[in-house]
Structure 1
């Protein structure tokens, strides 16, 4: 759940939030998704490429759940997990299997990689926290090889018949969990508000199409509060 997060007021604020919540991050993701989060991360890993070798980049790696899932699924691959939160990366490095991933501090808006470096890119909860979404997506397009897959796990603004109930749950339950579990209501109030204000999957798909991605699709999860999107860089 990370971002460009090293430039500007928003990035400084978000960086501080993720530094603070790193110790509770996995537990809160489990509670907020009723245990579904790791399953979604495994789906992201499965969608980015069939099992085998290759070079993969996991952005906003956080505590490394997606990166580790990619590494387990592709034991012959090179997996790099990038995040702007030093504390998140410190915790990722302590997890079982962490030696299979190259952990790197970095800025999603200015990736330290050559053009067409990766066979696949994954990310979890990155885009809603960045200051310049188009720039971040352009960077991903730049470092992805032609024919490579991009798979995104994101929150989704509530819609449809359940919208009033979901909005109430986000507004009340998420900050309350933050208060009880992490002793940090303010950080989870920000995460709740950024979920409600974020772009729709249709909007993200339009931005990906405009950059030259093809085969774009998505699947909503958990009362449409989360979404997995995928796209392929045109050859």
Structure 2
């Protein structure tokens, strides 16, 4: 079973699996990670707010500059273009989600309920608490960028996990079409995203994720009876 522990800090995300430091993901590319001054921080935070409110296509650089209290020209000394700034905002979260799901899919044969009811659910709660806007920007606001298909990629990884564990428990799994597994994965992700969109506080998110997990697990449990 995966022993997953995630540490979120202001400028980076550290993921530790089985007490080993697996990867350390900063806010964006190497240039952004090296920036230590307040201007870079203001640009980054303003970009999150603007992309979250309007999405990539509808956010002009001048509005990000205004929110950061800097000139448009100064932004271009830190980022080549708007796309590079967008990538700095979403890439760490994108890599983190894909890495966690890939690790879960490639780690032994943990019981399916461990994924939907136990430690991995804490990862979702932590992600929503610390990176909620980045998650929603990645999924809902990335049209026109190379991340616009991120949702389908995450669904596909979730689908692999569901297939892997349900097929071992269903007596006649061959009668279930792959589309059904896709529906299960899509519905679960949509549930998580709805929690993110209506986020109130950590306690509320904990309760909602627990309810979603139990409903999801016990709802599909009829398949293995």
TM-score, structure 1 normalization: 0.28
Bigger strand share: 1
TM-score, structure 2 normalization: 0.29
Bigger helix share: 2
